[in-house]
Structure 1
């Protein structure tokens, strides 16, 4: 039997087909480009759909086994507006798009920040969907003309089945979903001129959306009996694919941004959580809730440093056929440095979400070496996560270990620094694609191939490496962390 997960992201889409032990049978992907400038960041849904279909067709034509069921995970917040003829009405605004700041203030003024948080589990911020939907409604005709407003998860599901159903985890990124009632908040939607009927029906995890349409199966050469299963927001699916099933484990997705999930003891939206921009969202495992910590610049900041600060080293590595990051990891492995870096280079995550922040490098001398700067970057990201986690612990989370996923988890140095800073074991996984693995597990559970998600996790999620905290390094980092907190207090909002 074969089951699949598709990931529709900001910069590309990919699809992996698995057996029930989590082994990859077939995979393929496509890259695409976002559009916009001067603070605008957009995706053209027609372009995305074209590449999604290319991926599906390649799977249909080349996968050695027919796919029984699949689920889709996708980027959060961004929506696709379709008219009565299913024509796209506007590009999708991405999370980092600068639009929505005045609209967020209006939401707070009308409804109140704490009440928004208690309804949606999201502290009001332009990062989330509703302020951007307000801008779309007030500056275009897209919302007014839309028959359907879909996230990319249910957009793909609708194209393939003709049915409009969406996961709780994707709906929850809209800032218009009532996380206690598990339904759309008409009061919140009305702020953007949206009617509940324009949105897809929110459904519980592992719900079957429908069978692939005959014409889609023929066009894409897919199994005509293939079922589409509700998927979810990319970070939630990655958490499932990393084995997050109770309060003892946290999941840290290390990509362009870095996103850590920990489980809460209950649905909890305190004023202190709102102040620090911590979320409370329904998880894929029924009856459970997660909170999140985000650092918005991790992978992007490493790439910036590679292309600017370390340009000559990068050129040398490229000429010699070496992996730049592996080379720098080795160079910085035994370094201790007084350099401190605040990683808010243009945007910031918890505990002070901002799309207009500035980073800081301090502690430099004329003797500072490249490997010190590189190590300080990795440490700065870990310190920022730890600074936020110290505050989140007050909400009752009880994380004892961390599972790292995403491209950043390939760095052993990064994971050892995390273990030493957090003083907790850190695990990497054999699977590099926890989001699609999570989708596969939901699809197979819905189809009855697993008896439960717990069985799916036990069978398909496999640990690759364990990183144990070093007591001496933890003590060293706690002294350095004191200086980091002082620097953060003084410099976070400096412009």
Structure 2
């Protein structure tokens, strides 16, 4: 039996996990992500701190597992970049992926190229979270760091560099930079030349599952990874999770559901987002000849948490506030009514994502009366999230020209069976719950197995991993009810966004 190590550099946790060649979890270690905030309120990570923690996690998990590692691969969040000089030294801190300090740089790119042009080249909307606006911000505010940078690496790339000394990335990370030509499958000379950023500052792009080196003696001593173990290119966290979920076939969509929620359709053809779909993105997948249609809800499970924390007293459910337990609460919501009592919820608590991006929109309860209870409102939150999910799924089907059969759900929210049952009925799709709770780490470990020759390709290993998925079917009685309410939800969408935008602008006046 062979064993594989997955390193996962996430927003919430940093992890190291050991899996066997069949995808069985042997051991996992994790520590909370260290996100720092400077005096200006900007969020960042310390690259040395990340690598020190990863080394400790690897040593601990390998020691506890008692396994000899054959190969290792890395997954991480995207967009965040760190500069590496010619001597391999990191330069400065890593601007967090969600940090929006580079709004002016994003606007500069939009003015220079137009949103339509950048969509056509990169498949992305112009957003300060992406890597290129961050690089332009660094050039303006940290000129010494910019001038001494040899390569810009994302967080997963940085860990690969620490393991091998090689500056490489994969197609999923490259697709999240706003500097990558998603059609030509290469760094965009047109974009980079026009903003005077040398294309040589970006790393070589390799397909996920490619071996780029081996663990040397020094790295083996510091990490506990076996000397000679293969180091294999991984990818962005959501695409890696799609391997475990089985969401790589043309009749399924990955639903990566947690604090936020991403819906990703893996396609063999390029579907350029229509300009009306400003929250939709088209990226390359782990395999260089495939695409990922990508849309999401910015505030998903967080919407339910907020509603509970804000609306519900401990006496209402007979549980203490500090013993907040999903199962106790959800049992009491199964027979409650939300939209059936005329109550709609728009889940824009952190702005509207796909399919119509609007950062100024806000969450809304519509139709509320003094006869509604907290339980009605909590139920309507789950239904509103499901309505928003259907808008995104409908849009991805339209862009790709397909009719998907199921949503493959990974992440913490997959444990919320009531929510997933509602979602199945609203979207009229089967819900497949991924058997593996650490789907991202499992998918990453299997990329290491592919690089080691244990599997031929992603399709082969995904069939093995997803065979244990649990299926939830739509409730046929609820489909016509939800269909009627969904039409109302769509009709009110623009009106609510416009109203909330006006309220946001008024609020901004008082902030000044």
Q: TM-score range by the shorter chain?
A: over 0.9
Given that 1:22 and 1:437 are in contact with CA atoms closer than 8 Å, whether structure 2 keeps it comes out as: yes
- TM-score, structure 1 normalization: 0.93
Deviation at 1:13, TM superposition (A): 0.8
Instruction: String of CA shifts for 1:16-70, please: whole Å, max 9, x gaps.
Output: 2111222111111110232237763322223222221221111232222111112
Cα distance in 1 for partners of 2:454, 2:441 equals 17
* Match among 433, 436, 440 for residue 438 of structure 2: 433
Query: What is the aligned partner in structure 2 of residue 8 from structure 1?
Result: 9
- Tell me whether 1:447 sits opposite 2:452 in the alignment: yes
The correspondence of residues 208-357 of structure 1 with structure 2, limited to 5 A, is: 208-270=211-273, 272=274, 275-310=277-312, 312=314, 317-318=319-320, 324-337=325-338, 338-357=342-361
CA distance in 2, matches of 1:185, 1:303: 41
Shift of 1:364: 2.1
Whether contact under 8 Å (1:77, 1:174) holds in the other structure is: yes
TM value normalised by structure 2: 0.91
The answer to whether the 8 A contact 1:16-1:28 is kept is yes
For 2:182, which of 173, 176, 179 is the aligned residue?
A: 179
Is the CA contact (8 Å cut-off) linking 1:249 and 1:399 kept in structure 2?
yes
Matched, 1:158 2:154: no
Q: Distance in 2 between matches of 1:246 and 1:173?
A: 22
CA gap 1:319/1:177 in 2 versus in 1, 3 angstroms: closer
Could you say what secondary structure the match of 1:472 adopts? coil
| Structure 1 position 216, deviation (Å) | 1.1
Q: Shift of residue 265 of structure 1? A: 4.8
1:91-240 equivalent positions in 2, closer than 5 A: 91-141=93-143, 142-190=145-193, 193-240=196-243
- Equivalent position of 2:495 in the other structure: 490
Write the distance in 1 (CA, Å) between the matches of 2:258 and 2:168: 28
Q: Report the CA distance between 1:193 and its aligned residue.
A: 4.8
Q: What is the Cα deviation at residue 318 of structure 1?
A: 4.7
CA gap of 1:42–1:311, structure 2 versus 1, over 3 A, is: farther
SS in 2 for 1:80: strand
SS at match of 1:73: strand
Distance (Å, rounded) in 1 between the aligned partners of 2:58 and 2:428: 43
Q: Describe how 1:446-485 pairs up with structure 2 within 5 A.
A: 446-485=451-490
Q: Which runs of 4+ in 1 moved over 6 A?
A: none
| Higher mean displacement: 413-422 or 304-313 | 304-313
Call closer, same or farther: CA 1:355–1:138 in 2, change over 3 Å: farther
Do the aligned residues in 2 keep the contact of 1:238 with 1:435 (CA within 8 Å)?
yes
Cα distance between partner residues in 1 of 2:455 and 2:310: 49
Distance 1:57-1:315 versus aligned 2 partners, 3 A rule: farther
- The aligned counterpart of 2:64 is 62
Shift in alpha-carbon separation, 1:245–1:43, aligned structure 2, 3 A: same
Aligned-pair CA distance for 1:94: 2.7
Cα distance between partner residues in 2 of 1:319 and 1:488: 33
Q: Measured at CA, do residues 85 and 260 of structure 1 come closer, stay the same or move farther in structure 2, by a change above 3 Å?
A: same
Q: Which consecutive unaligned segments of at least 5 residues does structure 2 have?
A: 504-512
For 2:25, the equivalent position in structure 1 comes to 24
Paired residues of 1:238 and 1:436 also in contact (CA < 8 A)? yes
- Contact 1:70–1:228 at 8 Å: present in 2 too? yes
- The corresponding residue for 1:410 is 415
CA drift at 1:128: 2.4
**CA distance in structure 2 between the aligned counterparts of 1:440 and 1:247, rounded to whole angstroms:** 23
Distance 1:295 1:15, change over 3 A: same
**Aligned equivalents of 2:45 and 2:306: distance in 1?**
22
Give yes or no for contact 1:39–1:97 (8 Å, CA) kept in 2. no
CA contact (8 A) 1:128 1:174 kept: yes
**2:506 paired residue number:** none
1:325-379 superposed Cα distances (whole Å, 9 cap, x missing partner): 2222111112212221111112221122244431112222223222211111111
Q: 1:375 aligns with which of 358, 373, 379?
A: 379
3-state DSSP class of the match of 1:469?
Answer: coil
Partner Cα distance (1:302, 1:42) in 2: 27
Paired with 2:308 and 2:56, the residues of 1 have a C-alpha distance of: 32
Q: Secondary structure at the match of 2:319?
A: helix
What is the root-mean-square deviation of aligned Cα atoms in Å? 2.2
Q: Do the aligned residues in 2 keep the contact of 1:258 with 1:295 (CA within 8 Å)?
A: yes
Instruction: State the aligned residue count.
Output: 493
Instruction: Identify which of 83, 91, 97 aligns with 1:89.
Output: 91
> Could you tell me how far 1:314 is from its partner in structure 2?
9.7
Q: Secondary structure at the match of 1:174?
A: coil
Check the 8 A contact 2:88/2:165 in 1, yes or no: no
